[in-house]
Structure 1
Amino acid sequence: MTALPSAIHLEVEALYRAHHGWLHGWLRRKLGCAHYASDLAHDTFARLLDREEPIEAREPRAFLTTVAQRVLYNHWRREEVERAYLEALAQVPEALAPSPEEQTVLLETLCEIDKRLDGLPVIVKRAFLLAQLDGATHAEIAATLDISLATTKRYLVKAAAQCFFAL
């Protein structure tokens, strides 16, 4: 027995049929690559399928542009994190380098941490990363960032709360 499509699925299907070609073209112009445009157009509609409330967009293209811009921003952020990770990995001796599987897991973890820390001030993120990735003590972080020990602790609590308790 097949399940009936939900209202959101029907709404996304209608948006897809009417605007997928336009959205793909818009993304292709932004990215300069038809393959990435296809992937991100797919991700845009997949994000819409995850919604629980109806879309009811009065201006469907403006709505799709907003959602696609968020997907595009996440794509660029991931590329930035991946580039930084690969640069750091290039500094590791080959004998100590993680396996390709471990590299994939590490990159996914870094991207998830980056996403969860989004919106925090740079100095708060930096304090958290110094503690978590470099193993720096509170005193070392305070000295590195030229802040008080109390501020260091406050920043770490703020970042940890956002990172660990994000839904």
Structure 2
Amino acid sequence: MQPSNTVEVLYHDHHHWLTGWLRRKLGCPESAADLAQDTFIRVLTARETPTLIEPRAFLTTIAKRVLCNHYRRQDLERAYIDALAQMPEHVAPSEEERAIILQTLMELDQLLDGLAPLVKRAFLLSQLDGLTYAQIGA
């Protein structure tokens, strides 16, 4: 069976179940539908579609990662909105600038998440706290 056919069968057989599983986790049918689609997009864009013995366990694993990213994005958006609320109105960014900044923050978060914990900590201490490399090393 070709990989695209495998994904098609996986989608047909398990999409409804996955959407229901996500709906129970999120309590929001619209978000559940979006994240179910994101899950299948990850399957579709994977380099290789593995041979599946337990397709629901496979989908659950991917959906948990998608769900984790969803929660991280929500937390980041909330923190950004809180920071904007503290800014004087005359210097607040436009809606377009807000969207661009939020997207940039998400990309930075993903890049930082890919770093080893000590490297990430050193980077943040340098960039956010203004410490020198000697201070970080100590």
The TM tier, using the shorter chain, reads: 0.7 to 0.9
2:32 equivalent in structure 1: 37
Unaligned runs of 5+ in 1: 1-5, 143-147, 153-167
The whole-number CA distance in structure 1 between the counterparts of 2:111 and 2:78 is 19
More off after superposition, 47-56 vs 28-37: 47-56
Q: Which has the larger radius of gyration?
A: 1
1:63 equivalent in structure 2: 58
The count of aligned residue pairs is 137
Do residues 108 (structure 1) and 103 (structure 2) align? yes
The whole-number CA distance in structure 2 between the counterparts of 1:27 and 1:13 is 20
2:137 equivalent in structure 1: 151
Deviation (angstroms), 1:89: 1.1
Unaligned runs of 5+ in 2: none
**Kindly tell me: are residues 34 and 96 of structure 1, through their superposed partners in 2, closer, same or farther at Cα, counting changes over 3 Å?**
same
Deviation (angstroms), 1:55: 2.3
Contact 2:122/2:136 (8 A) holds in 1: no
4+ residue runs over 2 A deviation: 123-132, 136-139
Deviation (angstroms), 1:130: 5.6
Q: Percent identity?
A: 55
TM-score normalised to the size of structure 1?
Answer: 0.73
Do residues 88 (structure 1) and 88 (structure 2) align? no
